[in-house]
A and B are shown apart, each in its own frame.
Chain A
Amino acid sequence: MAKLVIPTPLRQYADKKDSVDVEASNVGEALEKLTSQYSDLRKHLFTDEGKLRSFVNVYMNDEDIRYLDREATKVGGGDVITIVPSIAGGGNHVT
């Protein structure tokens, strides 16, 4: 069982959960399970073609999966998969 950490901006699409436990053999499968459980998350993580969006980074423990085997990166028990989206806030302007 691996832990998938959901960042604040995406929690609204995942029943307000900050993490979920998933049983998966690789990162792609873990994300697939996550987005089938929370379908609203899908469009925030994947393009219409099913590719991970370029402003969403996924980390396996402390390493970016782009520098591992991307979605094929193996997942084992106790691993932590973290979704790190781009946030721009500086707490400055109010519109």
Chain B
Amino acid sequence: MSPNVAGGVAAAPPVLSNDEILRYSRHLIMPEVGMEGQVKLKKASVLMIGTGGLGAPLGLYLAAAGVGRIGIVDFDVVDMTNLQRQVIHGTKDIGRPKLDSAAERMTDINPYVQIDKYEVRLTSENALGILKDYDVVVDGTDNFPTRYLVNDACVLLGKPNAYGSIFRFEGQATVFGHDDGPCYRCLYPEPPPPGLVPSCAEGGVLGILPALVGSIQATETVKLILGKGATLSGRLILYDALNMKFRELKLRKNPDCPVCGPNRTIHELIDYEAFCGIPQAEPELAPGLSEWEIGPVELKEKLDRGENVYILDVREPHEFEICSIPDSHLIPLGDLPKRVNELDTAADIVAHCKSGMRSAKAVNFLKTAGFSKVKNLKGGILAWSDQVDPTVPKY
């Protein structure tokens, strides 16, 4: 038995210590927050999905603002390419779990915040169990299956979702599922098929972009907790950093929405990988190489023997500027159909890109166009750097 509740006295509401009052003084002197609002923040719990580009500013600001309990879901490890935008992690953290690095930084900013760490991939099996203990969910993931999973779980549990997503110079932000407002499926009933929309890893992202979009998510989260101001529910903010333009579009609740509409057909979490058209398991890669593939070492040997190989680089010109294989010819994948006549159907062609995905498409295209001696460089220029020429930088 806890002595605090002995004798039927109700547990005292959480009160801020003198240290906390000093820490939050710039909030406390604003009537929109004040002591009442700051206590609401302390009593609140927020679940952040992902500590990547969007999660970095979110984690820093939610901790600084004094949100009492912050859950983090991430299973990734900090790597060098993250540091251009994921400012919650530092160079010293490379190789560490993002969860540990983020939690350490947030605790350093504000030791009064309790951090719950979930080092898991969010799945249909664990999502409801993790989300149910939080007041607000903030979606900072990077893929469509998780976006739909988080949406559906939030709708089923009645939790608001502070949403943000980014691509290159462009961001979107809104609040889904708040006060019976529209959800992600009202906006986009279905995801694009895999491969049609490039990811940040393929398309790149301005490092500062997630700072702004993540801060919008953090702002909305704090407003939801305080119950102050007008949230983004029912409005979609589009931000174009390149032209520095903000636009606001209306978001409506779709009466036919399969998860939040009156005749909803989704009552429990589904298989989101399948929903997004992603194969359940990666197809078993045959050991060794297919007849349409060549390894970097084998290619080097052919070149050293003086064999006449036409190396076709299907990356973009700005990638070619970063690094290239000597004597290669650049025709970006998108230009290949209209420039295919520059190639000799009888020539020995090896196509390559960064890691082998785009050049596989190029090889398929060339095969159907009647090229019979075309191969894909397995692993792309990254594998060439690993196995043949380490002076070629990886990016």
| Chain A interface residues toward B at CB < 8 A | 7-9, 12-13, 18, 40, 44, 53-55, 57, 59, 62-64, 66-67, 82, 84-95
Q: How far apart are the CA atoms of A59 and B237 in the complex, in Å?
A: 13
Q: Are B82 and A88 in contact (CB under 8 A)?
A: no
CB distance from A70 to the nearest CB of B (A): 14
Q: Are B142 and A92 in contact (CB under 8 A)?
A: yes
The residue from A7, A44, A59, A82 contacting B196, defined by CB atoms under 8 A apart: A44
- Mark B186-214 against chain A: 1 for CB-CB distance below 8 A, else 0: 01111110001111110101000110000
Nearest B residue to A12 via CB reads: B334
Q: Are A93 and B76 in contact (CB under 8 A)?
A: yes
| Chain B interface residues toward A at CB < 8 A | 50-55, 76, 79, 81-82, 85-86, 139-144, 147, 164-170, 172, 187-192, 196-201, 203, 205, 209-210, 236, 238, 240, 242-243, 247-252, 254, 334, 355
Q: Are B53 and A90 in contact (CB under 8 A)?
A: yes
Residues of B within 8 A of A40 (CB): 334
Q: Are B167 and A90 in contact (CB under 8 A)?
A: no
Known A-B contacts A57-B187, A63-B250; the reply to A86 vs B142 at CB < 8 A is no
Give the most central of B85, B200, B243, B251: most A CB within 10 Å. Answer: B200
Nearest B residue to A53 via CB reads: B192
Nearest B residue to A93 via CB reads: B142
Residues of B within 8 A of A90 (CB): 50, 52-55, 139-142, 164-166, 200, 210
Nearest B residue to A7 via CB reads: B170
Known A-B contacts A91-B85, A91-B205; the reply to A85 vs B197 at CB < 8 A is yes
Residues of A within 8 A of B52 (CB): 90-93
Known A-B contacts A9-B203, A85-B192; the reply to A91 vs B247 at CB < 8 A is no
Q: How far apart are the CA atoms of A82 and B170 in the complex, in Å?
A: 14
Known A-B contacts A89-B166, A90-B142; the reply to A55 vs B192 at CB < 8 A is yes
